Amino acid sequence: MALTGELFVASKRVSRDGPGFKAVAAATGTEIEPSFSIATTEDVETAAAAAEAAFPIYSGLPREDRAKFLEAIADEIEALGDELVERAMQESGLPQARLTGERGRTAGQLRLFAKELRLGEYLRARIDHAIPDRAPAPKPDLRLRHVPLGPVTVFGASNFPLAFSVAGGDTASALAAGCPVIVKGHSAHPGTSELVAGAITRAAEKTGMPAGVFSLINGAGNTVGQALVTDPRIKAVGFTGSRGGGTALMKLAQNRPIPIPVYAEMSSINPVFLLPGALAARAEALGKGYIASLTMGAGQFCTNPGLVLALEGPDLDTFVTSASDAMCGAPSQVMLTPGIHKAYESGVARWASAPALKLVAKGQEASGPTSGRGALFTMTGADFIADPSHAEEVFGAASLLVRCADIAELQKVVTLLEGQLTATLHLAESDTELARQLLPSLERLAGRILANGWPTGVEVTDAQVHGGPFPSTSDGRSTSVGTLAIDRFLRPVAYQDLPEALLPAELREDSSVPRRIDGKPTL
Amino acid sequence: MALTGELFVASKRVSRDGPGFKAVAAATGTEIEPSFSIATTEDVETAAAAAEAAFPIYSGLPREDRAKFLEAIADEIEALGDELVERAMQESGLPQARLTGERGRTAGQLRLFAKELRLGEYLRARIDHAIPDRAPAPKPDLRLRHVPLGPVTVFGASNFPLAFSVAGGDTASALAAGCPVIVKGHSAHPGTSELVAGAITRAAEKTGMPAGVFSLINGAGNTVGQALVTDPRIKAVGFTGSRGGGTALMKLAQNRPIPIPVYAEMSSINPVFLLPGALAARAEALGKGYIASLTMGAGQFCTNPGLVLALEGPDLDTFVTSASDAMCGAPSQVMLTPGIHKAYESGVARWASAPALKLVAKGQEASGPTSGRGALFTMTGADFIADPSHAEEVFGAASLLVRCADIAELQKVVTLLEGQLTATLHLAESDTELARQLLPSLERLAGRILANGWPTGVEVTDAQVHGGPFPSTSDGRSTSVGTLAIDRFLRPVAYQDLPEALLPAELREDSSVPRRIDGKPTL
């Protein structure tokens, strides 16, 4: 399938004259064909109007129909075959194995949400039967379910061109909830986006969805994104990207006449705690594991271990030696975009010029103009406490090890950290008591707490939380990965004394979804 | 127990010199003793620091301990006896029967949250067991529960001096979630607040809670409230009051370095639809029911039926005649504060001077300086469509009937309404099809949809939603009444591969709370 550079406005391919834009090959920084259309104001208007018109139809469909739509998208994405992975490799610079895995994850999470729809527990249905003879007043019949918010805008992310872009986690959870989706495509991978958008529209057609259920809009600069976030028909926003971008969207959404929620996943340095027992038992292995996690995908994961905390001592020296050796052997890797590469280089330069920080190891020399070279820095706990701004995220394979004099200093450092997606404990049995002391702080700090692992693998499952207090996300009350992500696009509605004929299917007596009935959870 | 006018700073009674303030008797507008202390900046600081210190202790308690604390508060409130109701009558002007009922509701909702804690379903616990031999990579063990956000500020509401003030719904749900609470007392009922705060602190002492779990702070003007909402230790805000007050708090919270959620319940006119079949069958009874609901409690309910929509015709004339008759017989009633009375009077005057509105009936003459006199207005659907600003809430026993020429006009009016707490359908069997057409719009408009009832009764139960799209609340994704209200103060945390010894009790294998385990809901 040749790329056309078209937009998808209400599932229809649309081409626009005038200056377009081209993708840039991540490895070389050179442009690749074709040129992509930039959406007009009318395109945004058409997409929003169609999403609004589609909402009552799409949200009113039986859950089974939406489940089939999600599964059809997964099938169509897989049917794109090698072309999708090849274009994504070219545009993102990510290796084939990673993108093949990411395609699997993308299809897998669409199918997981289909399963979630069939289960129906996400509706959190509740029934309180009437008590007509209650004194002093009769008790009415009350029934509750969750309904979708309305059309949703999703911003594609550069670091997951499949799993967090056009048909990624935000789109899957919003579509599952019953919300039409308008994707603002990321300019770093427009070809990948076009291929996936084609898959979605084919799936929508095959399963009889209303045209407005999906649009893909490209834009230059922020105009199109701003128009979408401020459009009165848009009821929620999903975003993964920089802190600056995320907080700008939050402001836009809050200043609307009717404010809407923005689910922005922004910056996190994912502190890793090496507790004394673990360090005594396996400092060398930990050093290797750390660098493997840090340099994976050129360090371009939201859950990259950007900060390590440990107590001074010979075991920590062993860890540093092991990590330094591993870092010295780590090949440089193509970064996602020339802009991200440049920001990484300047972040590393900022750290290198900070008197409190010490560079202890660098990865192998850059092999191309946009290749990122890993970097490992250390500093003392006292210096960190004096200026915690060093903890600002450097997006890429750079990390900072904070050597603490004692446990009190380590605990002080924890209180200075901003909200995080993850916090990791490496511990041995002898560390249990210290871990127990740290846990309450870590629960306040992060959305996911790991033991004896590395934060970079994010399992897509029921019990996952990929979220956390500000600024790791704009709203720590939610997750963007895993089935609980559907919650973000729902709100509760109660029905009082509604005749059975008018009740939603899941609130009728004969429904089989899990519900709480008269105070008792039932399956 | 004589009132002392003291604050409760971290459960300790504190008195402040300098100018204080007195309550004003609602019926007469005259001051009543004693004088109440105004909190200093240090008091706010002490309360916030104590709440922060109490948080890890209080949130870490077994659910059973928090349940017993909530039940002890209910017991202590009931033990206050007549004094509480009498003081609340004096301060609020609400009648004895209403306040006795409200006291029952207040105690009842504290006990309902105790039950919710024991059930433990609110944790939404999930377990995904590890699959160590999964290819290509092992699947880790992941477990999820919800944890409390941190200390919460609750603003007491004037219209429910018990059920939505010091120990009201917001306080009960926040304490249940595991959050210490700092109440900003409402200046309209400081004596009632002091009595209830005394009950809470006695309950805290008897059940061994940390002192910082509760504070009651009074202030003049907005200073104290602003200090609390912008304090970095406060993690969420509950508020019931005016749209101006609520949106001001939203802005304050959003402009913090770390934004926090504000759950503000603001304005709602609660549209009531009289469908043709219902009107044909029982126009007269509907007219009486309408005025009874409208004038209850001087119309000072968030769920007051402020707007009625129906189709022109002789049945509607019958309804209007019946409603007018009932209104003419409705006695005036003391309003909550002189300020609310004044605002009501000017709202009614605004409607009376609008050329499109027609006054069809007034309640009985005011019997005192702060008594509100009911008022019933009508206008045509066409006029409403031309200027929907007439739908702005007039807080009190005034309501507007919109006479629509046809169904299309009625449906057009619906699209012009702002977000609402409730929407009510009066319907007969013959109206089913029309109701089915309207339902999708009503689900988008409101948090609760009623059939053949009046919105003023708000049952405190599992399936209740007292919430709705902006501006009825600041965040339509939640409810402030019913057990689901606990959600507002929680966020999800995942635990990956944590040793059993470090897992929270509810995520260990042997826990009996309802959970989703490996994709299957279990009880």
Residues A130-154: tens digit of each pLDDT: 999 998 899 999 999 999 999 999 9
CA distance B142 to chain A (A): 6
Q: What is the pLDDT of residues A89-106, one digit of tens each?
A: 999 999 999 999 999 999
Give one word for B261, left, alpha or beta, with left for phi > 0 and alpha for psi -120 to 50: beta
Angle between helices A190-206 and A63-79 (to 10 degrees): 130
CA atoms lying within 13 Å on the CB side of residue B31: 7
Say how many residues make up chain A: 523
Q: How far apart are CA B235 and CA A444, in angstroms?
A: 11
CB of B74 closer than 8 Å to CB of B110? yes
What letter represents residue A312's amino acid?
E
Pairing between strand A12-14 and A236-240? unpaired
Distance separating alpha carbons of residues A162 and A185, to the nearest angstrom: 11
The shortest CB-CB distance from B463 to any of A143, A478, A499 is to A143
CB atoms within 10 A of CB B314: 10
According to CATH, the superfamily of the domain at A7-266+476-489 is Aldehyde Dehydrogenase; Chain A, domain 1 (3.40.605.10)
Inter-chain CB proximity B461 and A254 less than 8 Å: no
Give the helix ranges, DSSP H, for B61-185: 63-79, 82-92, 96-119, 169-177
Chain A residues whose CB is inside 8 A of the B465 CB are 144, 492-494
- Measured CA to CA, the distance from residue A260 to residue B495 in angstroms comes to 30
Of A476, A148, A489, A248, the C-alpha closest to B261 is A476
Q: Give the pLDDT of chain B (523 residues) as one tens digit per residue.
A: 689 999 999 999 999 998 999 999 999 999 999 999 999 999 999 999 999 999 999 999 999 999 999 999 999 999 999 999 999 999 999 999 999 999 999 999 999 999 999 999 999 999 999 999 998 899 999 999 999 999 999 999 999 999 999 999 999 999 999 999 999 999 999 999 999 999 999 999 999 999 999 999 999 889 999 999 999 999 999 999 999 999 999 999 999 999 999 999 998 999 999 999 999 999 999 999 999 999 999 999 999 999 999 999 999 999 999 999 999 999 999 999 999 999 999 999 999 999 999 999 999 999 899 999 999 999 999 999 999 998 888 999 999 999 999 999 999 999 999 999 999 999 999 999 999 999 999 999 999 999 999 999 999 999 999 999 999 999 999 999 999 999 999 999 999 999 999 999 999 999 999 999 999 999 9
Q: What is the DSSP string of B405-458?
A: SSHHHHHHHHHHPPPEEEEEEE--GGGHHHHHHHHHHHHHHEEEEEESS-TT--
> What's the per-residue H, E or C state across B317-340?
HHHHHHHHHHHHHCCCEECCCHHH
Q: Which residue of A254, A259, A521 is in closest CB contact with B523?
A: A521
Polymer length in residues for chain B: 523
3 state DSSP class of B399: strand
Q: Which residue of chain A is at minimal alpha-carbon distance from B479? A: A492
Q: Which of residues 111-170 of A touch B (CB under 8 A)?
A: 115, 119, 121, 124, 126-128, 136-137, 139-140, 142-144, 147, 149-150
Report CA A468 to chain centroid distance, whole Å.
11
Q: Tell me whether B22 touches chain A (CB under 8 Å).
A: no
Residue holding tokens 């396996």? A282
Residue B510, CA atoms < 13 Å, CB-side half-sphere = 3
ipTM above 0.95, yes or no: yes
| Three-state DSSP state, B250 | helix
Strand order in the sheet with A262-265: A12-14, A7-9, A214-217, A181-184, A152-155, A236-240, A262-265
Q: Which residues contact B363 (CB under 8 A, 6 or more apart)?
A: B295, B327, B328, B330, B331, B332, B373, B374, B375, B397
* A175 bridge partner residues: none
The CA-atom distances, in angstroms, between A324 and each of A378, A404, A485 are: 11, 19, 38
| Residue B3 forms contact with A (CB below 8 Å) | no
Residue B366 sits at φ, ψ, to 5 deg, of -65, 135
Beta-bridge partner residues of A215: A182
Of chain A, the end-to-end C-alpha distance in Å amounts to 47
Distance CA B463, CA B459 (A): 9
The amino acid occupying position A297 is: G
Distances (CA, A) of B348 to B86, B293, B403, B418, B423: 31, 18, 19, 20, 23
Q: Which of B59, B140, B147 sits opposite A459 (nearest CB)?
A: B140
Contact B435 A502 (CB under 8 A): yes
Two structure tokens written together for B282 = 């029982």
Give rounded-to-5 percent helix, strand, coil for chain B: 45, 20, 35
Q: Which secondary-structure segment (H or E) carries A291?
A: helix A276-295
DSSP character at residue A509: T
Domain boundaries, given as residue ranges, for chain A: 7-266+476-489, 271-451
Structure tokens at A411: 């605990």
CATH architecture of B7-117+149-266+475-490: 3-Layer(aba) Sandwich (3.40)
Decide if A404 is catalytic: no
List the single best residue of B111, B416, B461 to mutate versus A (max A Cβ within 10 A).
Answer: B461
CATH 3.40.309.10 fits B271-451, yes or no: yes
Query: Hey, which bits of A286-363 come out as E strands?
Result: 307-311, 333-334, 358-362
